[in-house]
Amino acid sequence: PTDPFDISEAERIGREQAREIMDFVHRYMPGFENAKLAFTGPEIGRRSSRQLKGAYTLQVQDILGAAKFPDAVVCNAYPVDIHSPTGDPKGNLHGHLKAGEYYTIPYRALYTPEVKNLLVAGRAISSDFAAQAAFRTTPCAGAIGHAAGAAAAVSALEDVGPRDVAVGAIRDVFVSPQGDDGACGTKAKPVATLRQALELAAGCYGAKIHLARGFYGLDSTLRLTSEHSGVSVVAEAGGECIISGG
């Protein structure tokens, strides 16, 4: 979706379909005869566009085969979910994993040998079309962004290029306050207290600190958010921290 005329046409079709759905609701759903459409999205959603050609290209076989990469930085279990671009149901393709299984996303899919100091996150990482249909969803895209952000921070702190960052150092950022299994099955070791995490994030991102109650089910938490980076640090007061994107 790089042609503005194509995007405009897609938005026209989307809003036309919204009206068709409302017509169906009025005609065939009892109790919704007077329902009104409050709003539609400000722009059309784009499932895919340009993608990186990285050091590794994630394949749909990796997804369906529940691949566990040695340089894994993200775990996900969302299935392959391809919606027909023509509206023909035969074009809908779905591929599910076995119950309890998951696949991983390798760090090599976030960078390319071609360009120094470049990390790509979200649905634009290196993959084929079918594999991207599994990890393009918001939770996984956010987790990839988390991994890229952690890698960028380690790269800056250790003064090495992103391609030379040790995957173990990235995983160490994914702190588990209970000391249970951390990123992709590795044993997490807390590396920062809440205060250290807040000071580091505040210094790097110019973030603001908020006190929230009941956030993520905790009785009392501190939440640090950045207007620029979208990074959140969530932790029990006085405890170790959980760092997440979003």
Strands 80-82 and 93-95: antiparallel
pLDDT of residue 233: 41
pLDDT of residue 175: 58
pLDDT of residue 1: 64
pLDDT of residue 200: 52
| Reported pTM | 0.65
Q: Average pLDDT of each block of 10 consecutive residues along the chain (246 residues)?
A: 86 92 95 92 83 94 94 92 76 81 94 93 92 90 91 90 92 61 43 47 46 35 41 40 38
Q: Which residues of 164-196 are buried (b: 16+ CB within 10 A; e: fewer)?
A: ebebebbbbbbbbeeeeebbbeeebeeebebee
